[in-house]
A = this chain, B = another copy of it.
Amino acid sequence: MSVRINKRKIINDPVYGFINIPNDFIYDIIECPWFQRLRNIRQLGLTGLVYPGANHTRFQHALGALHLMSLALDTLKGKGVRISVEEEEAACLAILLHDIGHGPFSHALEKTIIEGVDHEDISLFLINRLNEVYGDKLALAIDILFGRYNRMFLHELISSQMDMDRLDYLRRDSFFTGVIEGLVSSDRIIRMLNVADDSLAVDEKGIYSIEKFLFARRLMYWQVYMHKAVVSAESMLVRLLNRARELAIDGKDVFATPALGFFLDTGLRKIDFAEDNPAAGLIAERFTSLDDSDILVSAKYWAGHGDKVLSNLAGRLVNRNLFAIELANAPFDEEKIAVLRKMVERDMGIDEAEARYFVYSGAVSNLPYSPEFHEIKILLKNGKADVISSVSDIFNHKFLSEKIIKYFLCYPKEYRQ
C-alpha cells in the first residue's frame, strides 16, 4: 500500500507481508528521486530471461533490507544490547542507501561504460551529496556504512558474511525466481543474532540455520546467479555496449537515449566520482537519470543499425536468441576458439577483431564464504565467541569456503555441434 497518498507508512511486500517505515526522515529519503529511480532497475538484470518471475527491483530489495535491519535491531535491544535512537536511525539509513550507487545492469555496466568504478564508490559519492542536501543528517549513517564507526556490529549488519543485505537478497531472489531451495529463514536467523566484543555474533543454537544459509547461498550461485544462460546473456550485453562505445568513439552515428548518450562515448572513470570534481553535481544528476529502460530502448534500436556486429548482437539479445555457452573447469583450448572465430568471420563477412564479439571465453567464480572477511562468529553457551569455521563440522571440510572458478566459452548457437 502506498505511503505518500495514504499518509501511513506501511508498504505491502510480497516477501514479508508488510514493511514499516520507521520515521519521517527515512521516509523522505525513500521519496527522493535518486532513491525512487531504483524502481526501474531490476535487481537481477537479465536473469529474467531465464527465470521470468525475476523482475523485482533494487527498490524492493532496499526496503526489504531496511525491514530486516529493524527486526535485527529490535532483537539485539531485546537481548540487552544498548543501541541509541540515533544509532538505530543511522543503521536503517545506511542499509537503505547501501545500493544507491547501482546503475542499470550493474554487472555489464561496470565492465564497460563505468569500467573500473565499483558501485560502492558511487554509493559513497551519492550519499555524500545527499548528506550535504540534508544538513549532515546522514553523517553517522555514512560512518556506519563505510566501517568508520567504532561499534563494528552495526557495520556488520550491513556488510559482512551474514548481513541484512544478503539475507534479503537471497530470500527475495529465491522468492521471485521460484527456486525455493534457496529459501532462507531470515526470521529465525535474525532471532539468533547477538553481539560479542562489539562484533556481530550468532547464538550457538543458531548454528544449523547459519549452515543452511551458507548452503542456500551456494545453491543460489549455481542455480541462479551463475546459471549458464544468465552468464551468456550478460556477456552479450557487455559486448553490445562495448561495440556501441567503439563505434561512438570512432565518430559513427549511434543512437542512444539521452541519459545513455551522455556517457556512451566518454564513459565514466573513478576520478569522475571524486568529491572535488568540479562537475560532480552534473555527474551525479546524469548518472542517476540512467535506468534499465535506457539500455533496453537503445538495444532495441541498435538491432536495426548498419553495423553488422552491433545489429546482430542487439537483435539476438532483444529476441532472446542467446549464445550457446560451454562450461569447463580449465581454460578453453585457444585453437578451438580460433577455429570457431574463423567460421564466424567467413559466414558473416567480418574481420577477426569483429569475430571476437561472437566467439569469446572468460571465467566466472562463485563468491564463497571468505574466512578473511568478517567471519561469522558463534556465541557459545559458555559465553565465549568463536568463528564458525572452528565450530561447525561442515567447515572442517571447508567445502563452503572453497573458491570455484568455471571457464566459459560462448558462440552463436548455430555453431553448436
Contact = CB atoms under 8 A, between A and B. Distances in A.
Interface in A176-202: 176-181, 183, 185, 187-188, 191
Given A39-B52, A259-B300, A14 B183 contact: no
Interface string A283-315: 000000101111011001100000000000000
A9 B322 CA distance: 16
A209 interface: yes
Interface in A48-85: 48-53, 55-57, 59-60, 63
Query: For the side of the interface on A, what is the size category?
Result: 35 or more
A60 B56 contact: no
Given A12-B53, A53-B13, A180 B191 contact: no
A297 B297 contact: yes
Nearest to A17: B187
Interface in A9-37: 10-15, 17-18, 31, 33, 36
A223 to B, nearest CB: 6
A393 B53 CA distance: 30
A1 interface: yes
Contacts of A258: 255, 300-301
Interface in A193-232: 205, 208-209, 211-212, 215, 219, 222-223, 227-229, 232
Contact of A181 (B42, B48, B59, B212): B212
Contact of A49 (B2, B205, B301): B2
A4 B293 contact: no
Among A55, A176, A296, A398, max chain B CB count under 10 A is at: A55
A33 B318 contact: yes
Interface string A254-279: 01011100000000000000000000
A259 to B, nearest CB: 7
27 contacts: A2-B49, A5-B228, A5-B232, A5-B322, A5-B324, A5-B325, A6-B229, A11-B52, A12-B52, A12-B177, A13-B52, A13-B178, A17-B187, A18-B188, A39-B49, A39-B320, A53-B56, A55-B57, A55-B60, A208-B223, A211-B219, A212-B215, A257-B297, A257-B301, A294-B297, A393-B399, A394-B399
Interface of A: 1-2, 4-6, 10-15, 17-18, 31, 33, 36, 39-40, 42, 48-53, 55-57, 59-60, 63, 175-181, 183, 185, 187-188, 191, 205, 208-209, 211-212, 215, 219, 222-223, 227-229, 232, 255, 257-259, 289, 291-294, 296-297, 300-301, 318-320, 322, 324-325, 393-394, 396-399, 404
Q: Which 7 A-B pairs have the closest CB atoms?
A: A397-B397, A293-B293, A12-B178, A293-B296, A2-B50, A14-B178, A5-B229
Given A5-B50, A17-B187, A33-B319, 17 more contacts: A2-B229, A5-B324, A5-B325, A6-B229, A10-B191, A13-B53, A13-B178, A14-B53, A18-B188, A31-B320, A33-B318, A39-B48, A52-B59, A55-B57, A181-B185, A211-B219, A291-B296
